[in-house]
Amino acid sequence: MTATLFFLFGLVLLYLGGEALVKGAVSLALKLKISTFVAGMTIVSFATSAPELLVSLGAAIKGHTDITFGNVIGSNIANIALVLGLAAVLFRLNINPQTKRISFPFLFFSSLIFGLVVYFFNGIYFWVGVAFVILLVFFILYLIRQSRKEYLQTAIVDDELFEKESQTSLYKSVLYLVIGIVFLKYGADYFVDGAIALAEVFSVSNRVIAVTVIAIGTSIPELATTVIAAIKKEESLAVGNLIGSNIFNILAVLGLTALIKDIPLVDVQLIRTDYLLMMGITIFLGVFIYLFSKNKISRKEGAFFLAVYIAYIIYTFSFRMA
């Protein structure tokens, strides 16, 4: 009972913290006169990835590195197959040119490098973490340079929301950030402790809990942001948010965690099954973006992603019980 309460309480704090952090990050970006595209692909994406960072870091420090890897891989799967799939079924999503030219190719490259590093080095260690962070910094600088040259639009929310957020005072923007960080910190602690306790009660491995329950829980900020963007008729911006979040999950979450604590691979099933599915879903997203739907993610393609995710969850738990 206590484990369940901790788990649910942590989930609520993660949701509230993620929402506050997103609101503070967007309004602060506008105060600092950062372009809307850069705000969406960097600050907002990083904000929605903050739960993954805190959960993964907390798990690594406690020695549960399967949760660290499983959370990142599972969250990337959930962001595309669950969140993007659900949003596409409900709204049908447009793909903006910047997603095709910049963000998706970099996501594919980051995902591939991540798999190769873990396969050959059996984990992610300090110097790999340094390389990941440096790569992320160069990516951000490139986005800033491109945005200044081409005056790109935002990848998260529409003009009305940005106009509304721009009226938020600097004090409130910082306050939202602080509240978000505090909620996420304690939410991550309760969430990880509760998930581990539940895994022990139900004899479920850390990997299974990480790639399913924890991954879905830490993807809640992405889900909220994507649905808001789609409701406001900015469907293409929702895709940019999810791709940006997946990039940050790999380079920022794993990179920053490795700077503090090495992340050895313990359960090879994470690479043999979960990572391969993550890459497969990423490739399918690329096929849909570039070949099939003429700059849209259709409802049929969204349904395909949802079906894949449901099958993945069923297989993951069935494999555990076999």
Number of domains comprising the chain: 1
Report which listed range, 7-11, 175-179, 300-304, is most confident.
Answer: 300-304
3-state SS assignment for residue 158:
coil
Asked if the model's pLDDT at residue 158 lies above 90, the reply is no
Helix (H) / strand (E) element for 154: namely none
pLDDT above 50 (res 316) = yes
Distance CA 158, CA 58 (A): 34
Phi, then psi, of 232 in degrees rounded to 5: -85, 20
Q: How far apart are CA 7 and CA 46, in angstroms?
A: 23
> Ranked by mean pLDDT, which of 41-50, 56-65, 206-215, 269-278 comes out on top?
269-278
Expressed as residue numbers, the domain containing 176 is 2-321
- Give the H/E segment covering residue 259: helix 255-260
Residues contacting 10, CB < 8 A, separation 6+: 186, 187, 188, 189, 190, 191, 192, 193, 194, 217
Q: What is the CATH number of the domain that holds 200?
A: 1.20.1420.30
Q: Which residues of 292-302 are buried (b: 16+ CB within 10 A; e: fewer)?
A: ebeebbbeebb
What are the tokens at 1? 């009972």
Q: 232-270 b/e with 16+ CB inside 10 Å = b?
A: eebbbbbbbbbbbbbbbbbbbbbbbbbbebebbbbbebb
- The percentage of the chain sitting over the pLDDT mark of 90, rounded to a whole number, equals 24
